[in-house]
Amino acid sequence: MSAGAHASCGAAFCSASNDWLSLTQGVTQGWRVWGQMEYLKQDQLKTGTKKIDGNTVSSHHVETKTVNRNALLGLEVGFSPEWSAGLVLPYSNRDHLHIHHHHGAQIPEAWRFDEIGDARVTLRHRPAAQHASETSWSLQGGLKLPTGKIDVRNAEGDEAERSVQPGSGTTDLLLGGGLAYAPMSMTGSLFTNLTLQAPLNQRDGYRPGWRASVQAGWQIPVGGKLDLILQGTLLHVGRDRGANAEPDDSGRTEVALVPALSYAWSRKLSVYGQLELPVYQNVNGIQLTHDYAVSLGLSLTLN
């Protein structure tokens, strides 16, 4: 599965990484299709690391809730034993609510949309000579393309904030690298992965913050075709920039535990589920945060 799929459903937020799949499966010649469903509800305001009550906030508008239901569809083709190319297309069902303060009145403003987000194209390299080695590595690069809308409006004709839109409007550089270690003396395999996403341009007064993430974990066979994946993630997001951005209330650092289960239904089909549990969240300004995120997915080899 293509690494970095977790960040392709818009700027509001998506769930945990599934990079352990690409690290452990390697490059397979032929076609592979995969899908992932995600759910994430942001309804807790924080400033820094502290929870706050929205009634105590006196800004122009106060964020109340954002519910993300995302679907990711991916296609990967291995055109040699060492190289594969991938495409990820996200689709988001998003509900967003905030309170607009106007001359002492509190006016609820809501948005709900079902839209395609920003697509990703990637190229991945994993040397074939290391298949029999205890240690393996892989590199990935690509682009996030501005295929998602940036001007979604609600029934009243009000445009949603840029960070809530299904697309960022920018083309972003995607870079990643991973390392897996599976010695004969140990059950399962250890892995770590580093990814970077950096916008290359600004669109209509908005440039999203850059993202860097580190994942590390242990994939453990627990019986038959079932594997347990114990993973930790560290994510840092820079501040948004531009006339239509909110730099004071964007950017964050998060640490999460991400346990997962993967089941090899057959030689070609595997299914998985994972739960993201944040243990540390530090946001700039005032932002909505989440308590958990859930993902379910499957991967099918077609060759």
pLDDT tens string 219-237: 999 988 999 999 999 999 9
pLDDT at 303: 77
* Residue appearing with tokens 């122009």: 60
Topology of domain 5-301 in CATH is Porin (2.40.160)
Q: State the Cα–Cα distance between residues 242 and 203, nearest whole angstrom.
A: 9
The rounded percent of the chain whose pLDDT value lies above 70 is 89
Residue spans per domain, the chain: 5-301
The residue among 225, 228, 137, 232 whose CA lies nearest residue 181 is: 137
Q: What is the mean pLDDT of residues 269-280?
A: 95
* Residue appearing with tokens 């974990």: 217
pLDDT at 86: 93
The residue among 146, 127, 140, 131 whose CA lies nearest residue 174 is: 140
pLDDT at 128: 77
Q: Binning pLDDT at 50, 70 and 90, where does residue 165 land?
A: very high
Instruction: Say what the pTM is.
Output: 0.91
| Residue 1 burial (CB count, 10 A) | 26
Given a cut of 50, whether residue 5 has pLDDT beyond it is no
pLDDT at 17: 59
Both tokens of residue 106? 């509190």
Tell me, rounded to whole angstroms, the distance of Cα 107 from its chain centroid. 32
Number of H helices, E strands in the chain: 1, 14
Q: Are 231 and 258 in contact (CB under 8 A)?
A: yes
* SS3 call for 128: helix
Q: What is the mean pLDDT of residues 205-223?
A: 94
